[in-house]
Structure 1
């Protein structure tokens, strides 16, 4: 029972460790890169969302230890990239805003590092697997919790982005309506003034 509690605590703190997203600003004509050093067979994940700037798009590139390009995406607003490390070494995640001339981009992202592929558990004399099943199930639960946490964070970000767009659109509609009202009043006053001058001139003649 004590071992199960310790494993649950490990899962809890690992979820806290890997659920913290990063917020960065990528300037125009700039590129920001980050890396993780992992072993062969480790499952890696990158989740990102452009939260502000321009058309909310950015270029994403993932490179391996030998600088070979693993994944390249252009002008993406959000996405989730998952792959397994084929070699031991540093894997780089780069966010590029080189296509923008003057607008910086705000990006929220998180990097998930799984466990290296383990050797299958040895079986005992009775043919049953080694008692690591509980630990494996807890690891799977931890991964699922991390995924749920990330989805909640990105749904919250999307909600803020959509709310900001709605507020901006509403402000533009109000300003345009106000401008139309001013133009309508100006045209009305102009017509009244013109007609008044027209009849005044006719009466003098």
Structure 2
């Protein structure tokens, strides 16, 4: 592989990586905190979370769609990961509830990683069944590599948090 093609591939990888922010939120006893994300139909959303401090390190989690349909529910979980595709356009809600706790606040670390919106066929305005008509093989491989790197980054961050928790509990 020549230096120019290697440099070009590296540049494309850098451009295709997306920013995923980690959030830390303190949820008081008997309280609930909700976060919102506007999605278009077919867009994937990856949610990862971990209770990093407080009580039994457990939290209730619920994700609902714009139609108030429950997409995901987890009761008294210390960590979790879920991925779903938006079933309709609108605002999706992620809530962490500490209502079961009598006095202990919980610190929760979480990420919401929004995937790319489905590609539209410019002529018809509809989602294309054959995305490869619009993209060359290199772009597909770069997108796959970018998604894999993003997943590795998520896993490393959560492993660091778990290690910190286990060191603190010794």
TM-score over 0.5 for the pair: yes
2-structure distance, mates of 1:161, 1:78: 12
Residue in structure 2 matched with residue 7 of structure 1 by the alignment:
12
1-structure distance, mates of 2:38, 2:8: 30
Supply the RMSD in Å over aligned alpha carbons.
1.7
* Structure with greater strand share of residues: 2
How high is the TM-score relative to the length of structure 1? 0.71
Residue in structure 2 matched with residue 121 of structure 1 by the alignment:
131
Structure 2 unaligned blocks of 5 or more: 120-127
1-structure distance, mates of 2:101, 2:50: 17
1-structure distance, mates of 2:51, 2:45: 20
Are the aligned partners of 2:38 and 2:91 in contact in 1 as well (CA < 8 Å)? yes
- Per-residue Cα deviation, 1:86-115 (whole angstroms, up to 9, x for no partner): 001111110000000110000000011111
Structure 1 unaligned blocks of 5 or more: 123-128, 167-205
Aligned residues: 156
2-structure distance, mates of 1:148, 1:35: 25
* Structure with greater helix share of residues: 1
Are the aligned partners of 2:61 and 2:73 in contact in 1 as well (CA < 8 Å)? yes
Query: Which has the higher Rg, Structure 1 or Structure 2?
Result: 1
Distance 1:39 1:130, change over 3 A: closer
How high is the TM-score relative to the length of structure 2? 0.85
Are the aligned partners of 1:121 and 1:132 in contact in 2 as well (CA < 8 Å)? no
Q: CA deviation at 1:6?
A: 4.2
Please show how residues 71-150 of structure 1 align to structure 2 within 5 Å.
71-118=72-119, 119=128, 120-121=130-131, 129=133, 131-150=135-154
Are the aligned partners of 2:13 and 2:146 in contact in 1 as well (CA < 8 Å)? no
